[in-house]
Chains A and B, each alone.
Chain A
Amino acid sequence: MLAFKVENLNLWYEDNHALIDVSMDVPRNQVTALIGPSGCGKSTLLRCFNRMNDLIPKTKITGKILMKGDVEIRDPSVDVVKLRTDVGMVFQSPNPFPMSIFDNVAYGLRCQGIKDKKQLSATVERSLRQAALWDEVKDSLQRNALKLSGGQQQRLCIARAIALEPSVLLMDEPTSALDPIATAKIEDLMQSLKQMYTIVIVTHSMSQAARISDQTAFFLLGELIEAGPTAEIFQVPKDKRTEDYISGKFG
């Protein structure tokens, strides 16, 4: 079962050819890691999955991204606002809204028109539990979210994203702004979340990719060099460049 099937995807920012002929599969209910040196196009690809690239002017895209087998997500008939409720995203640095913890998690639901208090608080509790934050904040749901620690803020952002029950969760270097303890907590969280969601993660850390992912894709200068099960990529890379990168010869 595939969450996404990418076929011959090309992307230009003005004259910059940022993704070159990328084709890959993202399997369901697994963690897929996108790795590579900065500027290699891994974050750009991630943003294609929920069409956040639409927001950047002068972007041109060719090729296909099929979701759940048959939906081309760039088709004009696809409602991008609805797509984003099905493909959640967690950003590099935690970006909670300057409102209460409860309002942060309920934000997406309210934007869908859900006003029922019971339903809201049930979903907020479920999401915070799944994000392993419930026990820490259950007594202070009305506190300003900006008062939380960095790691807690990032877990709040995860809770906020999964409150909409998306099928895919995109994570753009979610731990790069966090300390090791907070990072460990989020990595544990991902392992439990993949039971319910497909996770695509961009990471800078080789060891993180090795620890948490089932599939790994290695990018270099906009090209997909190699993709496959994580164990294979890390132990028997087929391409010399992958091997050099993983062994730390450049990066």
Chain B
Amino acid sequence: MDRKEKKTIQAKLDSFHSRKLWQDKIMKRIFQGSALLAALMIFFISYFVISRGIQPFLSSYGDEQQSLIAFISGNRWRPDIAPPVFGVGFIIINTLLTSLGAAVLSFPISVLTALFIAKIAPPKLRAVLTTIVELLAAIPSIVYGVFAAGTITGLVKDVGDIFGINTYGGNSMFAVIILLAIMIFPTITSLSVVAISAVDRSLELGSIALGASQMETNFKVVLTSAKSGIFAGLALGLGRAFGEATAVSMVAGNRMIGPTWNPFDITRTLTSTILSGMHETSPGLDYDMRFSVGIILLLVILATNFMIQVIKRKVGGVTHE
């Protein structure tokens, strides 16, 4: 190789090198841009839902302007009459009732199942149950909805018949509670399993060394130590219950006046309100009000998460996640 040839090769390599550094810079910018875009989405969502949801309450909305107080405290949701009435107060109460009811029903079963999976079940059964919980989590909401409309409502109707209560074909608050309890079960369970497995083994041994049986240790030491993780599971489960839309809409029955305290009566949740009559509505007040309900839904979820955090701090916990 003569000197000239060597020089041209070197020049080629140098130009590749500068291209490589330049490429590196560009790609890093692309990666960074993607991450920033992903992070900004939560703000975009909040902005666009809120800005459209508050429109009906502003004077700029014109003749159809709504009163915020009437909206929040209202006990009737009648988009079908003239002039339409939009009161979300009773819907908030009924949403809280169904979601908290589902949590009360699901929480003990989930935690006990988690304890069973993490501490009691033999290894093979543990693997099977873990898979079952994962599959339950993977089943789409619409399938739960069809299942609920086909079985749970029938069950509620039968129970209602026994007590001589007229149910609307089984569509009821009770059906919603059972459905939501089933749907949040995998969420609470899987997070509880993680929390329970993370409990320091030495704590358990300490309890056993003090003469407690394994079961007593499980209930008195393991569960209390895993409290904070279990509460995180509950918070996530409640979030899912509040936000669940399709399945709930299929069995809620969409009551127009409320609140209702009768579990066999039809009910209405924030999500079912946003979804109801979607196929026949057109842009206008009825459409914009769905965004207003969306804001309320986000606020309810935020408030619940905040409250769970407070409770968690009060109750305390030993595990660190």
Contacts and interface: CB of A to CB of B under 8 A. Distances in A.
Contacts, number: 17
Contacts of B17: 79, 81-82, 112-113
Q: Secondary structure of the A side of the interface?
A: loop
Interface residues of B, number: 7
B26 to A, nearest CB: 15
B20 A81 contact: yes
A113 B12 contact: yes
Contacts of A79: 17, 21
Interface in A229-247: none
Contacts of A114: 13
Interface in B253-305: none
A112 B21 contact: no
Interface residues of A, number: 7
Contacts of A113: 12-13, 16-17, 19-20
Interface in A1-16: none
A113 B20 CA distance: 9
Nearest to A115: B16
Interface in A48-87: 79, 81-82
Contacts of A81: 17, 20-21
Interface string B6-41: 000000110011011100000000000000000000
B291 to A, nearest CB: 43
Interface of A: 79, 81-82, 111-114
17 contacts: A79-B17, A79-B21, A81-B17, A81-B20, A81-B21, A82-B17, A111-B20, A112-B13, A112-B16, A112-B17, A113-B12, A113-B13, A113-B16, A113-B17, A113-B19, A113-B20, A114-B13
Give the 10 A-B CB pairs with smallest separation, nearest first: A113-B16, A112-B13, A113-B13, A81-B21, A82-B17, A112-B16, A113-B20, A112-B17, A113-B17, A79-B21
